[in-house]
Structure 1
Amino acid sequence: MTELKYKRNFCITAHIDHGKSTLADRLIQKAKIVDDRQMKNQILDNMDIERERGITIKSQAVTIPYKAKDGHDYELNFVDTPGHVDFSYEVSRAIASCEGALLLIDATQGVESQTVSNLYMAMEHDLTIVPVINKIDLASADVESVKKQIDHDLGLESSEAQLVSAKTGEGIDDLLEAIVTKFPPPKGDVNAPLQALIFDCHYDEYRGVVVHLRVMEGRVKTGDIIRFMSNNTDYKVEQVGVFKIKYEETGVLEAGDVGYIIAGIKTVSDVSVGDTITLASKPAASPLPGFKEVKPVVFSSIYPIDSNDYEELKAAMEKLKLNDASLIYEKDNSLALGNGFRCGFLGLLHLEIIQERLERDFDQIVIFTAPSVKYKVKIPGHEEIFVDNPADYPEGKIESSQEPYIKASIITPAEYLGSIMELCCLKRGTQKNMQYLDEKRVELTYEMPLSEVLFDFYDKLKSYSRGYASFDYEVIDYRPTDLIKIDILINSKPVDALAQLCYRPSAVERAKVVCERLKGEIARQQFKVAIQGAIGSQIIARETVNPVRKDVLAKCYGGDVTRKRKLLEKQKAGKKRMLMAGNVELPQSAFLAVLKEKEDS
């Protein structure tokens, strides 16, 4: 085994699109742990969605051997982290498993909001931070300006910054040397009771759950009985090793090592990211700090397009759950759409990813209902209840209601300041801070309801700022709100799948939008179709789909007007009977159109 002083554990944190996965590719290529034939871009991103969108969803790890200029062989354990705000807890656990962090900054974009929040997260865990300026090969790179931002915005030494181009490989040798010289070696006692931090896990269909861990104290070897400290379950270790893209079995992991264990665990939900592993025979006195249960913040129902596909969707959800412990779901039923599932997600990106994976990996074309957040509702004489589904909203008098609020941090060029402040005000935001980072960029801090961010906020922010503004948020607390339930009625019958919970002052606008969209999607019938938005028994919006009319006068060539009137009266009476018995078929596109409109509105 490599001595502790020749090990380095580090991660790369960055804002989205600053080149984290590309830099990881170059480090792996330099170490020659993958031969050139098998090398491909974003090698640590396993999913197609990760490659296409250029994002990292699951954190990965890899052990890189490196011979330094001092002649010693070093073992560099690199933990790749997701970049998106939805996965910030995974990022925090990956950071906790390292001693050093490369803070990657795009030479063309400069310091952005998640760069700042990742810096604070790394500082909370007392990591040694080395700033890295990437994309120096681009014509629009402004290295001097970025160096000033590192000094001014981040409070780091810009003279320490490493200049690299992850695309061309320029500066990678110096960066590897900096990892060895600037990051401290891990600490830990091999003979102490085992304490290992789980920073990720994934499901392998042949081996079960592969647990990614960093050993803080002690050692774990094949054959040991290990215990998860959050739920006190025991497993026998079948395989121990390190990641070199593929699994490389070592038989033992000691204090300071990053690697994996396989122990016959059946589902990913049995393993909690952030949990501590110890030995059943000699348990540690206390778990490592920082563990928390990941709670979903966005809720939506999923239904198959064809109700006969329910069993297939159920099987697909079970397989997805194997790979994604943060996906929470339970059975749900709708009169309009049949059987489905009510799901909880970490955020909107997480929802999109689940939708894409259902479509790609399992060929399931599904309908998602409008995303909602979890509200607190107090009914007179009862306990406070949580409501995330409009169907569960209590009828009758509500004493009070509360909704989750977020603290949003936005960094934008100063020229777009006015329109972004206007957007935040429209979204019921309260400004808490405004700070000029330099003469061109401003950092805004707002507190606003999470429900306002679910629809179109991110898209509008990008369009108002021509793509330059960056956005980061964290959920802070619950605050009072005026909550109501909007029902959508088709010919006086409520459609449960279109109901939604909404802030009262924006209810009329929301209902109008839904009615307008439905009018464009519902086919004309032989009778008039009324589409209404209602709060209780009060109608707040209405659209009408006019009927198609058969030409009953076609056979009347002239003659007395009373003949024509008689035929028209007969048609009118027939249409009345049809309206009483007529049910309107809602096409699946109507549900999708309503959601789409709310995103565009």
Structure 2
Amino acid sequence: MEATYRSDPRHKAPQETGPCVPATPNNVPEPSRTDPALIRNFCIIAHIDHGKSTLADRMLQLTGVVEQRQMRAQYLDRMDIERERGITIKSQAVRLPWAPSQDPGNTHILNMIDTPGHVDFTYEVSRSLAACEGTVLLVDAAQGIEAQTLANLYLAMENDLTIIPVLNKIDLPAAQPEKFAEELANLVGCEPDDVLRVSAKTGLGVDALLDRVVREVPAPVGVKDAPARAMIFDSVYDSYRGVVTYVRVIDGQLNKRERIRMMSTGATHELLEIGTNSPEMLGADGLGVGEVGYLITGVKDVRQSKVGDTVTSQVKGATDALGGYKDPKPMVFSGLYPLDGSDYPELREALDKLQLNDAALVYEPETSAALGFGFRVGFLGLLHLDVIRERLEREFGLDLIATAPNVVYRVVMEDRSEHVVTNPSEFPEGKISDVYEPVVRATVLAPTEFIGSIMELCQTRRGTLLGMDYLSEDRVEIRYTLPLAEIVFDFFDQLKSKTRGYASLDYEPTGEQTSSLVKVDILLHGDKVDAFSAITHKDAAYAYGVRLVAKLRELIPRQAFEVPIQAAIGSRVIARETIRAIRKDVLAKCYGGDISRKRKLLEKQKEGKKRMKMVGSVEVPQEAFIAVLSSDDGAGSAKSKK
């Protein structure tokens, strides 16, 4: 789709945001003929809600690539979920022309890559950073540095990016620019006066920021005449054109209609279309050194253009791929089952379509005796799980049950054989030597008054304190080693409630450790219900069992016979509740009379109930599964201490 509203200086809409006056230069260089010295590739790193997408909006307006009348808030966040939750999930890349005040005669090309800010989407951030030479470190002037900002800043430092520290939201009454400028300066290693102060909402200081990007971010370095090499940093699925691959050209040039080769798979395709985002797609003849743009080859499967892969020309192509990218690995697994079994093919199709857009999503079919056919799906973290589930329900109209999230365990038996367990039902029976679970290094940033409650929470979750640093007199950074299983449930909610929402959390995987873990099974009338099985720490198993059997007793309707609900570890029952039988009043017809007559009728009823119990089976209603696996207190009971 050709963009119908590429900025035209003759049609300027009236501006309402004060200093934001479009300054689009007339002589915008073509993507295939841009001098690399005029290109600046940068991204914006920020915590959720620190105003990253709003700053991107102002930049779009100020450079004039989006006219005022087409402007909407969070212009680059295209998904409904992104806009509703106020988070960025997919990376976006935009080409912005800018004539800096220090050199107005030369139009520079700024390629801005808008990256996600949430801990689950760190892999999106890492691939975007690899495509940049500089980064804008954006911090809210009212809230200060958060854990996620810190994690992404370290990623940027590892990539040797030029860092421009910026304080946003300085127009807020609660802003403390002096205090946080000092914090930022200490972190980045600059003077507090070097920290730019902007207001993305009003546009104040955004033009100075763009000038500074031109001044401080280095131009891309690449060999113009070398074989073409471009790095894929994102790919999205378009229902009309197939896969749209976003690339950053490192060496050489890619031209329209030439044949290209993906270096990891060796697959070759014809370049049907090539161009840049401004921010709508705009076709071009080619992309030169340092440019960021998109390729369309007509391929229908996103897995054909893997993120981090190198694209080269088929004829006289490069022999060495670009290094430095690893495949994202799922950390959390959950079972997704359609409420209506006949929706299974639709669920498979929906997951296939989502996988086209999401390289980190993995899934395989599985069957549960209780829930029927479904999929075991691997996610990067809880937000990723939440977003995928919401997209399945919203975009594909599916009603789903999600089982409690699990991490990946490694079980070593006494005969030294190994099992990898992503589902409690796969937990092996028999003589187990060791169980290994993944551990993470968690960093919590919070006001100093909450140190006690944070440490208490981490101790109860089997955490080990690594260290503590004071960032300023009232903010502290606490580092813990925690089992991932303790984090993936309600740790984040608990942390927020114990710190009145002031703490922020970031974590990174650091390997595995041995733990005393057991599998708790729930038996209904003597039969295991696989959907309710859970792997928990030995100390928490009893509490989990008691809580779940009590919950099920309320949810399962009474039968014509007595039904025991038991929680067991192996063959040892640790908790039990009984659902009393519904019985007919067989003595209703007996008025007075001999007791032996009544006893005979009661004995007969008892025999019937016993026979029923032997052949009867208990149907667990769908509502019970939904309540235990999905609802807050149900899932909370299943969540607490796994």
Both proteins in one fold, TM over 0.5: yes
SS in 2 for 1:373: coil
Alpha-carbon distance between aligned partners in 1 of 2:53 and 2:624, rounded to the nearest angstrom: 39
Superposed CA deviations along residues 244-292 of structure 1, whole A, max 9, x for unmatched, are 1211011200111000111122211222211111222223242222111
Letter in 2 for 1:27: M
Alpha-carbon distance between aligned partners in 2 of 1:243 and 1:360, rounded to the nearest angstrom: 27
State the partner residue of 2:19: none
- 1:599 equivalent among 622, 625, 636: 636
From the superposition, tell whether residues 229 and 383 of structure 1 become closer, same or farther in structure 2 (CA, over 3 Å): farther
Q: CA deviation at 1:424?
A: 0.5
- More deviation in 524-533 or 204-213? 524-533
TM-score (norm 2): 0.91
Q: Matches of residues 107-506 of structure 1 in structure 2 within 5 Å?
A: 107-506=141-540
Contact 1:131 / 1:158 at 8 angstroms: preserved in 2? no
- 1:92 equivalent among 101, 117, 126: 126
Say whether 1:2 aligns with 2:39. no
State the partner residue of 2:576: 542
State the partner residue of 1:17: 49
Q: Matches of residues 523-542 of structure 1 in structure 2 within 5 Å?
A: 523-542=557-576
Alpha-carbon distance between aligned partners in 2 of 1:532 and 1:336, rounded to the nearest angstrom: 16
Alpha-carbon distance between aligned partners in 1 of 2:121 and 2:39, rounded to the nearest angstrom: 27
Alpha-carbon distance between aligned partners in 1 of 2:159 and 2:475, rounded to the nearest angstrom: 28
SS in 1 for 2:390: helix
State the partner residue of 2:58: 26
Letter in 1 for 2:68: D
Superposed CA deviations along residues 377-417 of structure 1, whole A, max 9, x for unmatched, are 12233543311112222221112221111010111111111
State the partner residue of 1:50: 82
Q: Which runs of 5+ in 2 are unaligned?
A: 1-32
Q: CA deviation at 1:558?
A: 4.0
Contact 2:185 / 2:195 at 8 angstroms: preserved in 1? no
Q: Matches of residues 55-66 of structure 1 in structure 2 within 5 Å?
A: 55-66=87-98
Letter in 1 for 2:252: G
From the superposition, tell whether residues 382 and 266 of structure 1 become closer, same or farther in structure 2 (CA, over 3 Å): farther
Alpha-carbon distance between aligned partners in 2 of 1:271 and 1:158, rounded to the nearest angstrom: 43
Q: CA deviation at 1:562?
A: 4.2
Alpha-carbon distance between aligned partners in 2 of 1:282 and 1:241, rounded to the nearest angstrom: 22
Alpha-carbon distance between aligned partners in 2 of 1:156 and 1:539, rounded to the nearest angstrom: 62
TM-score (norm 1): 0.97
Superposed CA deviations along residues 468-511 of structure 1, whole A, max 9, x for unmatched, are 00000111101112222211111111011211222222211222
Contact 1:456 / 1:598 at 8 angstroms: preserved in 2? no
Alpha-carbon distance between aligned partners in 2 of 1:285 and 1:433, rounded to the nearest angstrom: 46
- 2:72 equivalent among 12, 33, 40: 40
Contact 1:435 / 1:443 at 8 angstroms: preserved in 2? yes
Contact 1:116 / 1:154 at 8 angstroms: preserved in 2? no
Contact 1:409 / 1:446 at 8 angstroms: preserved in 2? yes
Alpha-carbon distance between aligned partners in 2 of 1:475 and 1:599, rounded to the nearest angstrom: 24
- More deviation in 469-478 or 380-389? 380-389
Alpha-carbon distance between aligned partners in 1 of 2:384 and 2:267, rounded to the nearest angstrom: 29
Q: CA deviation at 1:444?
A: 0.6
SS in 2 for 1:109: coil
From the superposition, tell whether residues 29 and 552 of structure 1 become closer, same or farther in structure 2 (CA, over 3 Å): farther
Q: CA deviation at 1:224?
A: 2.0
Alpha-carbon distance between aligned partners in 1 of 2:225 and 2:636, rounded to the nearest angstrom: 56
Superposed CA deviations along residues 68-113 of structure 1, whole A, max 9, x for unmatched, are 2221212110001011111112201101111110000011110111
State the partner residue of 1:508: 542
Q: CA deviation at 1:559?
A: 4.1
State the partner residue of 2:14: none
Superposed CA deviations along residues 499-527 of structure 1, whole A, max 9, x for unmatched, are 12222222112222221221221112222
Q: Which runs of 5+ in 1 are unaligned?
A: none
Alpha-carbon distance between aligned partners in 2 of 1:331 and 1:14, rounded to the nearest angstrom: 37
- 1:585 equivalent among 619, 623, 627: 619
Superposed CA deviations along residues 7-66 of structure 1, whole A, max 9, x for unmatched, are 111100011111111111111122222222321111111111111111111101111112
Alpha-carbon distance between aligned partners in 2 of 1:227 and 1:46, rounded to the nearest angstrom: 30
Identity %: 52
Contact 2:438 / 2:513 at 8 angstroms: preserved in 1? yes
Alpha-carbon distance between aligned partners in 2 of 1:477 and 1:99, rounded to the nearest angstrom: 31
Letter in 2 for 1:90: E
Alpha-carbon distance between aligned partners in 2 of 1:349 and 1:507, rounded to the nearest angstrom: 26
> What is the number of equivalent residue pairs in this alignment?
601
Letter in 2 for 1:184: P
Contact 2:165 / 2:188 at 8 angstroms: preserved in 1? no
SS in 1 for 2:65: coil
- More deviation in 151-160 or 42-51? 151-160
- More deviation in 85-94 or 173-182? 173-182
Q: CA deviation at 1:561?
A: 4.2
Contact 1:517 / 1:590 at 8 angstroms: preserved in 2? no
Superposed CA deviations along residues 299-347 of structure 1, whole A, max 9, x for unmatched, are 1111111112212212222222222221111111111111111111111
SS in 2 for 1:61: strand
Alpha-carbon distance between aligned partners in 1 of 2:261 and 2:547, rounded to the nearest angstrom: 54
Alpha-carbon distance between aligned partners in 2 of 1:133 and 1:438, rounded to the nearest angstrom: 17
Contact 2:34 / 2:288 at 8 angstroms: preserved in 1? no
Letter in 2 for 1:257: E
Alpha-carbon distance between aligned partners in 1 of 2:535 and 2:72, rounded to the nearest angstrom: 46
- More deviation in 210-219 or 161-170? 161-170
Alpha-carbon distance between aligned partners in 2 of 1:546 and 1:414, rounded to the nearest angstrom: 53
Letter in 2 for 1:587: P
Alpha-carbon distance between aligned partners in 1 of 2:432 and 2:52, rounded to the nearest angstrom: 49
SS in 1 for 2:69: coil
Q: CA deviation at 1:431?
A: 0.5
Contact 1:433 / 1:444 at 8 angstroms: preserved in 2? yes
